[in-house]
Chains A and B, each alone.
Chain A
Amino acid sequence: MIFIIIIAGAILFFILFIVICVNTLIGKKNQVINIFGSMDAMLKKRYDLIPNLITSVQNYMKYESQLLKEITELRTKALSSNISDEEKVDINNKLTKSLGGIMVAVENYPDLKANQNFLQLQAALNEVEEQIAAARRAYNAAVTDYNNAIEMFPTNIFAGMMGLKRKNVFEISEAERQNINVKDLFNK
């Protein structure tokens, strides 16, 4: 009699163990998707601000027309529906860099700096950049958590069975890490 109870207890324990592991993995996988979704929403806010920015500055900034064109192209690419997540991230990193370039160049246009419309836009863009940065960090934390669960014992046993693979964190490539060279901007 006792023997049966022990066996039943062991089976129950085993089932519980499996359930907890599998659910933990699913939870972490979904957290990654969740945060990527939030980040996407913030990136979209940025896309929405760009046309306004372009029209505000293009009458002033005669020397940056190439840069402005780049930004418009990047935005169009980012909005197209058939790009992978990784491409999306790549395009957005480039956008961050180009937008930064515009903000630096603005220093040379005192009329533009005094323009109320532009100042509001600049504040809004700063705000969005901060939010995107926060989202990026949150995404990296979620991915690290998920990768840990996939690779550490005991959840790694189930990760293989569920077909879960390692994901990449956001890194900024070496080229983009370099500071923007203002002289280059003027030579465009």
Chain B
Amino acid sequence: MKTIEELKEFYNSDLMGDLKVLEEARTKIAKKLILINILCGIGLILPIILFFIIPLLGIILGIGIIVLWIFLAIKASKGYKSDFKSKIIHRIIKFIDKNLEYFPEDKITEVQYMASRLFPRTPDRYNGDDYVRGKIGETEIEFSEIHSEYKTESKNGTQWHTIFKGLFFIANFNKKFKSETMVLPDVAQKMFGNLIGNFLQGMNKFRGELIKMDDPEFEKLFVVYGKDQIEARYILTPSLMKRITEFQKKSKKSIYLSFINNKIYVAISYYKNLFEPKIFSTLINFDLIKEYYEDMSLAIGIVEELNLNTRIWG
């Protein structure tokens, strides 16, 4: 895994050329869009006036102009997004590891998402993109952005709620875990303090037995469920727990992990899309790329941590 300094160098030397070209394209598109917005905005005045004279005509013209507006906007920014993905993101992925392959339109399958048992609720809508797969050392990995939602019907209509939105990462191991272990963000301990929090967590038998870990900072932030007390501690060594804790403190994102059969699932949630290039703000921003890189680093770092201890998982 490369360091941030190496990333910065790559960013400044290799990536900057493409970024500048795309940035030019972006400013052109931004200007075009502003023009379209102004023209169509003004154009809507006519249908509004007409609405008071001949309502039907007003409505039809209004809808027509809105459709035209959307059509023009999409046409203007077409190609920009896919250009960004194929040039910039593709190259970042290759920089991280030459063996990784990038498929902008693909995603982790819903079957695998459910197999992680991190989010037991079946989603009514399941989307994702920016799929990557390959090998880190001896371990096969794959990940993508995922957005899963459920809906509720009320008299106001259908409402959509997010179950999970963020980076979903899977790594294959060569041997099977004896049982399931899960690490989830700790809500109860935060709300109710240790004694009651622990009691409530113990009640949640659905997820298996509560396993109390010996790193107090980790325990405050996460709750561990599993069926085998020893195997859970075998996986969650003091150094792995530290790594996860540090990441959570720095990124302030919710992290979910599970270890089932022969796979490790890591889900890191956040509210925005990782790779959607913005139109109205500059592309030349190292922080955007750094943030993505750090999320990837956690996921790959976990794999490396479990590899480097020369475990043969006997």
Contacts and interface: CB of A to CB of B under 8 A. Distances in A.
Given A35-B229, A35-B230, A134-B233, A123 B310 contact: yes
Contact of A126 (B230, B234, B237, B310): B310
Q: Is the interface of B mostly helix, strand, loop or mixed?
A: loop
A127 B230 contact: no
A137 B214 contact: yes
B292 to A, nearest CB: 32
Interface in A126-145: 126-127, 130-131, 133-135, 137-138, 140-142, 145
Interface in B209-265: 211-214, 229-234, 237
Contacts of A131: 230, 234
B314 A134 contact: no
Most buried by A among B211, B213, B230: B230
Interface in A40-89: none
A134 B214 contact: no
Q: What class of interface size applies to chain A in its complex with B?
A: 10 to 19
A140 B234 contact: no
B155 interface: no
Given A141-B214, A145-B212, A134 B231 contact: yes
Contacts of A123: 310, 312
A126 B309 contact: yes
A138 B226 CA distance: 13
B311 A138 contact: no
A140 B238 CA distance: 14
A127 B314 contact: yes
B262 to A, nearest CB: 17
A130 B234 contact: yes
A93 interface: no
Given A141-B212, A141-B229, A145-B212, A134 B234 contact: yes
Contacts of B313: 127
In order of increasing CB-CB distance, the 6 nearest A-B pairs are A134-B234, A134-B233, A138-B229, A138-B230, A137-B233, A135-B230
Interface of B: 211-214, 229-234, 237, 309-314
